Structure 1
Amino acid sequence: MKEAACASCAGNQNHPKVLYLHHTKEVMKRAMRKTIIIAGAAICIICAAVISYAVIERGGRDAIPSQDLTLSDYPKLFEKEAVIVIGENASQIEKESAEAIAANLENLTGNKPEIISSKKIESFKYTYNLIIIGMPKTNPFLEEVHAMTNATRVTEEFPGEGEGVLEILPNPWDESKAMLLVEGSDEWGVKAGGEIIEQTQELNEANIVVGWKESGAVIVKEPPLGQVMSAGKHYPSEPFRIEKYNASEVIEKAKETDHWIRQGSRYGPPYTYYNGSTSKELYVYEEGYIVLKIDQESYTLLLDPENIDNPTNNIYVLLFAPKKDIPLATAREIVENELLEIGINLEYIEKIEWDLNKGFVPPKTELENEGGI
């Protein structure tokens, strides 16, 4: 085999072994570079395969249909791979509620979920069933949940003092997993949810309002339309006034605003007008409620039950005074001004009296007033 001299060894006939060694090193270097390139390519292919498998595995899991979830799916859906999330600044009552739920799950399923701080949620939210506990001011992760889902937005004003919401829905970061929200306007609302959770096996709703009373935790029952007076929350200081108003108009106007619109709340699927700069929310409920909340005061409009099935028509509305003894005229002015901001003008018609026995009595038509009927 003929050896060709390189520049560094040219003319040196006395060191053929050195020449051979030099070329051997060059060959070895080239071979090593090829090996490194091939190994690197192989590693990249393996990594890509692993990532693809993970994506396929995750994507291949069936998402939980949100309309099929009810609170009776607890504890089954939280038997495995579940974690309880509380706020970094959770109160003692909130911590006790988390511990009670963990103990309840252990008793029912044999597995006790870990309780973690909301600051550590990042490594759990993509692969776990989540149970999120707390108030808006103590558990900041709830804000992230509300931004990702149509979950009921609980505030310090809604649903109110001593009340909270239990709600189940798919985990938005992995819809093959479930998420249970145990929220409260205050810590007592959270405590109520923590105790009511043991009863959820018999509840076929996706969300309920709970409350803490002298007797303990209760499920809050809203009175049917026409019986709201019996709830004792909306007694006016003077006779009710009837307003003529178009329900679909409010919904459409609310949609057109640049304020936040969401679905899902206490009474069902409303459209919500929300002003984030101040503490006021306008809920438009398909069942016939309009609730305006401003700084812990609640102003409620109740649609005429006769027309609930046809909300596109002009319908009569009752204006309830807020919880505190505010004159109805003041309440009406507040509500009217807020509705005017989104282009809704309430047309004043007349005053009526509320009959506690008969409930809402619609005003007579012009023909009736003229004695034609």
Structure 2
Amino acid sequence: MRIIPWMNTNEKKKIAILGSTGSIGTQALQVIEEHADLYEAYVLTANNRVELLIEQARRFMPEAVVIANEDKYEVLRDALADLPIKVYAGAEALCQIVQERPVDVVLTAMVGFAGLRPTISAIKAGKAIALANKETLVVAGELINRLANDYHADIIPVDSEHSAIFQCLAGEVSPVEKIILTASGGPFRTFSHEQLASVTKAQALKHPNWSMGAKITIDSASMMNKGFEVIEAKWLFGVEPGQIQVVVHPQSIVHSAVQFADGAVKAQLGMPDMRVPIQYAFSYPLRLQSSFERLDLFRVGTLTFEEPDTRRFRNLALAYEALHEGGNMPCIVNAANEIVNRAFLEDRIGFLQMSDVIANTMRKTSFVKKPTYEDYLQTDAEARRIAEEYVGAC
């Protein structure tokens, strides 16, 4: 990883936040506010939450804002008409704004497949990527790695688990034997298969440790989020699927660990606070002082670890299957998961039926061994259509 040039200057680091109104985006703004002498919110974007985007723009005074939903452009433009802030709308504007010359880092905090295209655009502009949109690597990991290498773009993970691994690898030159991804187990860790059949979205949205958006919280409850992190880890750290082990750790204190060739294991510990990995991605290779809560091991008391149950939480097994299969199969899984996630939140499908729909979509969608970007787009559309058909039949 190259040391980013701005560290040797007195200029503020200009951050473009894709998804500033979401959980990661709002916490990133807290980091920027705490270190206003180092960081500047240069671009803020949102999909639909125009009122919050307006509030953020008036508070942080970015150079530009983008609302992906073009129907809300006039509301945004009129609300900021008295300020010298450029206002844009639409998917194309998202891709163009991240290529602006002054932008130093693009925080990809959008949720889902929608984050792929603007991330590619930022990579092609040679921007440093603070990656919080895991679907980008899940869908197109091989393509993203190739582009990052071709355009000399740094990718620094923001997910707490991958940030932990990244920190454990800092300064290491020895071979990695195994990556240990920790998982909280979510709100249904101790539920039986019979209990899982009747859980509600209200129950699923109550994560025991983390405050996240609805989509990621449901993915965490179903363990698809952890499955996606397994796929993401392969592309970020260049390991094989058999070298990635998921361990259920209910306390969410050990964020992940790395086992090396000599058997030594390095782990990164801390409070479950996403501002820490966000700040580290912004400040790498330095660590900045912060006001965040400190870990008190005496208060934590006990740390426990369990093997995940892939019979009750089938999504984790499906993610491993997709990773082994390769090609466009992870893209298929992601598309199907976005459909069932929304269907569950809309009370159109049961918790266990989500895995059934994903598995059926994997079998029915056209498989492409060596996909291009266009193949990913076609796969996403086909898999979504098929998954919706299965949801309708549930």
Instruction: Specify which structure has the higher proportion of strand.
Output: 1
For the pair shown, the structure with the greater C-alpha radius of gyration is 1
Higher relative contact order (CA 8 A, sep 6+): 2
Instruction: Specify which structure has the higher proportion of helix.
Output: 2
TM-score (structure 2 length as normaliser): 0.29
